[in-house]
Amino acid sequence: MAAEGWIWRWGWGRRCPGRPGLPGPGPGPTALLLLFLFLGPVVADITDGNSEHLKREHSLIKPYQGVGSSSMPLWDFQGSTILTSQYVRLTPDERSKEGSIWNHQPCFLKDWEMHVHFKVHGAGKKNLHGDGIALWYTRDRLVPGPVFGSKDNFHGLAIFLDTYPNDETTERVFPYISVMVNNGSLSYDHSKDGRWTELAGCTADFRNRDHDTFLAVRYSRGRLTVMTDLEDKNEWKNCIDITGVRLPTGYYFGASAGTGDLSDNHDIISMKLFQLMVEHSPDEENIDWTKIEPSVNFLKSPKGLPEHTGGRSLPESPAEKQRGQERNPTPWAPEPRAP
């Protein structure tokens, strides 16, 4: 894959769809300018900075019509999941519950952004609650299992909103959001909070908040970005930003949650999927995107631009160490560099 093929589109300046008045996240004008300086002529294919479109067939929106046992279901649910007029509760604040909700139709968009309005709350005191929510874009759907209520060795993308530190030795602050890409070969290790298979992550204080909490996932041209809006400021904050992520089309969106000895209410209020209008090169258009194997390439970033700004911390697995040598671990710092 030519490097140009992976140069992302910076479209953060605009208002985010679906949330009126929400300013776009991301680098300010200085960062953008610097990006142009770094990338020079390879910045291309920026077509339509304003045309995102809500895809109703991949969105879960109140009132929850077309969910469950209608003749044309948009979403199916399973396990402890219940629907109310105000939220979809994946698990109640009770022990040993598992539930999920899955989009009925596979998604064939190459570039998309998912906005999730969610709420994790319960009676448990600090670190006496769990386990969290997983958001999915996967080949298989509705298969219960041990990974936040869904199957392990999955194919595709997972974003974990993990509220409980199973690994007692961890220095991480929980709740913790992380991402994992899997081709079926990897197993999620709950006892380590998925540390060995995590690509990036950040601490995010989303539990028992009095106000609404949101998360956004953007996937476009191999770049995967996760942002949160947890402070009731109508502002996206960067959590994860990695490149070189390869995902096929034709997978399913879903959300699941699980409780064990400790519990919480895990609620989804909405999931809104937006299509991003992004042009792809003829080479990219000509391949069969449904045949892509989920994978991550830590490509060397152009001119030392960090491609990984998630808050990963040590220790790293051997595989991570090896990958780490190929990438610049410095967090994004928009400072001029000598040419």
Ligand X SMILES: *[C@@H]1O[C@H](CO)[C@@H](O)[C@H](O)[C@H]1NC(C)=O
Q: CA-to-CA distance for 16 and 228, rounded, in angstroms? A: 13
Burial class (CB in 10 A: 0-12, 13-18, 19+), 144: middle
Which one of Ca ion, ligand X, none is in contact with 193 (Cβ closer than 5 to 8 A by kind)? Ca ion
Which one of ligand X, Ca ion, none is in contact with 166 (Cβ closer than 5 to 8 A by kind)? Ca ion
> Which residue is listed with tokens 């670190």?
127
State which residue, 60 or 158, has the beta carbon closest to Ca ion. 158
State which residue, 65 or 322, has the beta carbon closest to ligand X. 322
Q: CA-to-CA distance for 64 and 53, rounded, in angstroms? A: 20
What one-character DSSP code corresponds to residue 18? T
Q: Based on the shown chain and the rule CB under 5 A, indicate whether residue 188 belongs to the binding site for Ca ion.
A: no
Q: Where are the beta strands (DSSP E) in 146-285?
A: 155-162, 176-183, 200-203, 213-220, 223-229, 237-242, 245-246, 252-258, 265-276
In total, the chain counts a number of residues equal to: 339
Compute the least distance from the CB of residue 248 to Ca ion, in Å.
28
Compute the least distance from the CB of residue 182 to ligand X, in Å.
8
Task: From 24-32, 42-50, 188-196, 263-271, give the range in contact with Ca ion by CB under 5 A.
Answer: 188-196
Q: Based on the shown chain and the rule CB under 6 A, indicate whether residue 293 belongs to the binding site for ligand X.
A: yes
Structure token pair of residue 132: 């969290």
Closest CA to 326 of 291, 301, 293: 301
Q: Give yes or no for a contact between 324 and 199, defined as CB atoms under 8 angstroms apart.
A: no
Which one of Ca ion, ligand X, none is in contact with 162 (Cβ closer than 5 to 8 A by kind)? Ca ion
Size of the site for ligand X (CB under 6 A): 3
> Which residue is listed with tokens 């909405």?
270
Binding Ca ion (rule: CB under 5 A), the pick from 52, 76, 140, 193 is: 193
State which residue, 172 or 272, has the beta carbon closest to Ca ion. 172
Binding ligand X (rule: CB under 6 A), the pick from 85, 185, 191, 286 is: 185
The CB-nearest residue to ligand X is 183
Q: Based on the shown chain and the rule CB under 5 A, indicate whether residue 166 belongs to the binding site for Ca ion.
A: yes
Does residue 107 sit in helix, strand or coil? strand
Compute the least distance from the CB of residue 164 to Ca ion, in Å.
4
Does residue 61 sit in helix, strand or coil? coil
State which residue, 115 or 151, has the beta carbon closest to ligand X. 151
State which residue, 183 or 187, has the beta carbon closest to ligand X. 183
Compute the least distance from the CB of residue 17 to ligand X, in Å.
34
Binding mask 109-148 vs ligand X (x if CB under 6 A, - otherwise)? ----------------------------------------
Q: CA-to-CA distance for 231 and 160, rounded, in angstroms? A: 19
Q: CA-to-CA distance for 156 and 175, rounded, in angstroms? A: 23
Binding Ca ion (rule: CB under 5 A), the pick from 64, 112, 164, 252 is: 164
Q: Which residues here bind ligand X, judged by CB under 6 A?
A: 183, 185, 293
